[in-house]
Amino acid sequence: MMYGVALSLVPEDFKRILRKPGAPVIGLLAQFLLLPAATCLGTWVFNVDPELALGMMLVAACPGGNFSNIMTWLSKANVAVSVSMTAVSSLAATLLTPLNFAFYGWLNPYTRQMVTDIAMEPSNILLLVALVLALPLVLGMLTARLRPLFAERAQKPMRLGSIVVLFGFVAIAFANNMDVFIENAHRIVALVVVHNAVALTLGAVAGYAIKLPKNDRRAVTMEVGIQNSGLGLVILFTFFPEASGMILITAFWGVWHLVSGLTLALIWSRSAEPQHVE
């Protein structure tokens, strides 16, 4: 999935952040600071079941999903901002995803004992995240540079493949934990829908706070609201295969954020501003 994203990345996407840092920087702050903190506070205040709360914290600790670029394109918003944010957030996540998950899981008194009891070696999670995000990102960019024709032709099949892979992960998660989902469906659905709405709102509010242009603000909103739940499922399948609640929260996120993202994209595409080439 990340290799497919990287096929469309060029060094210019990183340089753009240095030239116009406003949207990417505020988006990254919302992504890695506001969303995890709000998730920790919300699960604490409303005393969410510890396992479900940890699933929400893991999702909040993940970077923006690769589907955010597609949703931004469908919205006719600023794809350049979205791609730049995905690239930088994916690299930053190699450190921040394990750190945020461990820190906010410990900070919430209801999940602290569960995090403490988990035999979790932070360096192992960091290595896994690096292999899942950073390595394919670098390989994809190298492919785009050395084999540009292949990279251009492969982008569409890779996007379709990413959807297949994500839904494959989701299907495995539900198949292995269907009894738990049936028992807790009302809570899981409600928590994911509200959590996703909070993520989208934080992205929008962050964009409004620094008065970003509409198309930049919409790109930031999508980036914060479309999480890399595939990464979350890889972490769970590898380190916490028995954590049914965490797995189901993350799996349903993978479905729901596509629904909410496509809905927003359809609404926004009808009122989009013309794009300007940078």
pLDDT value at residue 32: 95
- Whole-angstrom distance, CA of residue 23 vs CA of residue 160: 28
* pLDDT greater at residue 165 or residue 122: 165
Phi, psi of 227, rounded to the nearest 5 degrees: -90, 155
Q: How confident is the model at residue 273 (pLDDT cuts 50, 70, 90)?
A: low
Which tens digit of pLDDT belongs to each residue from 24-41? 889 999 999 999 999 999
CATH topology for 2-269 is: Na+/H+ antiporter like fold (1.20.1530)
Q: Which two tokens stand for residue 144?
A: 């785009």
How large is the average pLDDT for residues 139-167? 83
Q: What is the mean pLDDT of the chain?
A: 86
Q: What is the pLDDT of residue 276?
A: 47
pTM, to two decimals: 0.85
Residue 119 confidence (pLDDT):
59
- What residues does each domain of the chain span? 2-269
Inform me whether the pLDDT recorded for 218 exceeds 90.
Answer: yes
Rounded CA-CA distance 85/94 in Å is 14
Which has the minimum average pLDDT: 13-22, 31-40, 174-183, 192-201?
13-22
Q: Are 240 and 73 in contact (CB under 8 A)?
A: no
232-270 tens-digit pLDDT: 888 888 888 888 999 999 999 988 998 999 899 989 988
State residue 190's pLDDT score: 96
DSSP-assigned letters across all residues of 184-229: HHHHHHHHHHHHHHHHHHHHHHHHHHTT--HHHHHHHHHHHHSB-H
